Amino acid sequence: MPKDINDTAEWGGSVLTGDDITQYIQNIDLATSALRDALRGVNNNTLTDIVNALTGGASAGETVTIASAIDISGGVVGNVGNYNRWSLYINASAAIDITVELSPDAGATYYDISESPLVFSAAGDEVYEMGYTANRIRLTGSNVNVCTVQIRGTF
């Protein structure tokens, strides 16, 4: 007797619903189709094309804006993706110290990173390479000077 699509199944220690399973199958189908096409050389693919198809290439990253020309003295929070590596881009309009805290549990707790605070003695731009695994970031400025902050991460 066929199971109802709303039934659940256990897979890898997780309980999945019919919708979850359908989404996983669609994702696997898309990935295997891309791999098949890359390996077959449908479009006279080069080795670089094949590697990009397998890894996502340049499109495997994203940029997230945490603050866009605002006062961060009250703190701003942003999400950090499931990145293999990520960089923090900061533009400060004037002198400011920025406390950087990361959360591994969606904001239930935050921890200062060892580089914190990031000190700007005057207006300027800085890029910080981050090697931390987290899913949320909180930035708090020491004063009301305006900052723009972005994260660029690669999966």
pLDDT digits (tens, 9 = 90+) for 8-66: 555 555 666 666 677 777 777 777 777 666 666 555 666 666 565 555 555 567 888 99
As its CATH architecture, domain 59-154 has: Sandwich (2.60)
Mean pLDDT, rounded, for 121-136: 93
Give me the phi and psi of 102, to 5 degrees please: -120, 150
Residue from 153, 5, 7 nearest 80 by CA: 153
Distance from the Cα of residue 68 to its chain's centroid: 18
Give the pLDDT score at 30.
Answer: 74
How is the chain split into domains, by residue range?
8-55, 59-154
> What's the distance, Cα to Cα, between the start and end of the chain in Å?
41
Give the pLDDT score at 42.
Answer: 55
| pTM (predicted TM-score) | 0.62
Average pLDDT, the chain: 81
pLDDT band at 85 (very low <50, low <70, confident <90, very high): confident
Residue from 93, 86, 68, 72 nearest 136 by CA: 86
Residue from 140, 133, 22, 21 nearest 75 by CA: 140
Mean pLDDT, rounded, for 115-138: 94
Give the pLDDT score at 27.
Answer: 73
Is residue 1 over pLDDT 50?
A: no
Instruction: Name which of 5-9, 81-85, 109-113 the model is least confident about.
Output: 5-9
